[in-house]
Amino acid sequence: MARATSKRRKTVMTVLVWAIGLTIFFPILWTVLTSFKTEAEAVASPLSFIGFHWTLANYAEVQSRSNYFRHFLNSVVISLGSTVLGLAVTIPAAWSKAFVPAKRTKDILMWMLSTKMLPPVGVLIPIYLIFRDMGLLDTFTGLVIVLMLINLPIIIWMLFTYFREIPGEILEASRMDGAGLKAEILYVLTPMAVPGIASTLLLNIILA
């Protein structure tokens, strides 16, 4: 009896979750399908899903007004660039905070987090002057560096939290087997923290 009740409840919950998911996904689907309709069909039959004339004229019209594919490529390069650079900096930093804590480690972490409370406009002039002198104005490199620095405190805190869940004994065992610092981070710590690194990577891409 309990097994039947559990199975029935599982079925009801599955149907409910799918219903909620489809309800949330419906506006996205409707928007995508509408983009393939002509203007007249979009106004006349907004809820028509299949029975309409498919066309790419809307995309051609939008692209003719501005090079949106170039804008999309710029976003991809900047977001991925800042994310990769940020992970290259923050993984060793979070490792040191999690496994080699110093007396002021907690204070440093709180200080880094407090920098997110500073209005971005407060550092606008110093960043502009530095980038002007270094020739980084209006460049991908400059924007990648700025976005990486803006998101740096959040990335370090997230990775620090994930790294704290990894037993330090595993890293000690790798050192006893002859692993150096680089091998320990690349081949032991990083693979074990893949879920945390992946979620941090995704969040950083969204923020960038």
Residue-range definition of the domain harbouring residue 8: 2-65
pLDDT of residue 103: 85
Burial of 114 (0-12, 13-18, 19+ CB in 10 A): exposed
How many domains is the chain partitioned into structurally?
2
**What's the rounded Cα separation, in Å, for the pair 29 and 22?**
9
Question: Residues 105, 9: one domain?
Answer: no
Whether 83 and 147 map to the same domain: the answer is yes
Instruction: Say what the pLDDT of residue 59 is.
Output: 86
Question: Would you write out the chain's pLDDT as a tens digit for each of its 208 residues?
Answer: 445 567 888 888 999 999 999 999 998 988 888 888 888 887 777 666 677 788 888 888 888 888 888 888 999 999 999 999 998 888 888 888 888 888 888 888 888 888 888 887 888 888 899 999 999 888 889 999 999 988 888 889 988 988 888 888 888 888 888 888 788 888 888 888 888 888 888 988 988 8
Residue 179 and residue 105 in one domain = yes
Closest listed residue to residue 155, CA positions, set 192, 109, 118, 117: 109
- Of 29, 49, 65, the position where a domain reaches its end is 65
What is the pTM (predicted TM-score) of this model?
0.68
Which residue type does 171 have? L
Q: Are residues 95 and 158 in the same domain?
A: yes
Q: What does DSSP assign to residue 119?
A: -
| Predicted pLDDT of residue 95 | 86
Instruction: Note whether 97 and 162 are within 8 A (CB).
Output: no
- Distance between CA atoms of 86 and 80, rounded to whole angstroms? 10
